[in-house]
Structure 1
Amino acid sequence: MNPATIRHLTEQVSIPEDGTISRTIYQDETIKAVLFGFAAGQELSEHTAAVPAILHMVQGEARITLGTEVVEATPNTWVHMPAHLPHSLQARTPVMMLLLLLKGSR
């Protein structure tokens, strides 16, 4: 397996003025890395994932609901979510977030 390096994560997507963008920046048989950009006020409605995931807030501020827990996320907030945990996100400011889907953990 060859190493993968991204030196400037924040240059991989541009946060839209209105809306949400996502870009898969890496994927193999065990992990999928998706970088999201949310305009202020955008929401990701409650949903679940079939695999465990790690969320890393790169920039901005967001309210993240994890089951019944609410987290006010700021840059460098890190969250591990078990599979099937209901979660949602509301961007308070423009947000960049890295999501790692742990596919090898099914």
Structure 2
Amino acid sequence: MNATSFQDLAAQVTIPTDGTISRTIYQDPHLKAVLFGFAAGQELSEHTASMAAMLHIVEGSATLTLGTEVLEAGPNTWVHMPAQLPHSIVAKTPVVMLLLLLKGAT
């Protein structure tokens, strides 16, 4: 088995000047790791996921809505979300966010 590592997560994605980009940086039968880059003002509207997930804000600041809770998130904010939790994100500044989808976890 080989390890997968990134010494600088933020360097793995280029934040667009207007828009959002996502890049899968790792995937196996149990886990999918997706790195997002959001331009300031961009958002992912409310949605749910069929599996549990974790969010980690690597750089920037954003407003996260997690069910009925609103959280102002900055660098190194970490969130665990159970499956089916309605959530959204609005980037207040350029944001780099790591999303970990836990396949099979409900």
Which interval holds the TM-score relative to the shorter structure?
Answer: over 0.9
Report the TM-score, using the length of structure 1 for normalisation. Answer: 0.97
**Residue of structure 1 equivalent to 2:27:** 27
Report the TM-score, using the length of structure 2 for normalisation. Answer: 0.97
Does residue 37 (structure 1) correspond to residue 34 (structure 2)? The answer is: no
Deviation at 1:3, TM superposition (A): 1.7
**Residue of structure 2 equivalent to 1:68:** 68
Deviation at 1:104, TM superposition (A): 3.5
Does residue 83 (structure 1) correspond to residue 83 (structure 2)? The answer is: yes
- Following TM superposition, the consecutive aligned residue runs of length 4 or more in structure 1 with deviations greater than 2 angstroms are none
Deviation at 1:2, TM superposition (A): 2.6
Letter in 2 for 1:28: D
Aligned mates of 1:30, 1:57 — CA distance in 2: 22
Unpaired runs of at least 5, structure 1: none
Aligned mates of 1:75, 1:35 — CA distance in 2: 14
Structure 1 stretch displaced more, 42-51 or 1-10: 1-10
Aligned mates of 1:8, 1:78 — CA distance in 2: 17
Aligned mates of 1:105, 1:29 — CA distance in 2: 12
Q: How many residues align?
A: 106
Cα RMSD (Å) of the superposition?
0.9
What is the DSSP-based 3-state SS (H/G/I as helix, E as strand, rest coil) of the residue aligned with 1:11? Answer: helix
Q: Deviations over 1:17-60 (max 9, x none)?
A: 10000000000000000000000000100000000000000000
**Residue of structure 2 equivalent to 1:103:** 103
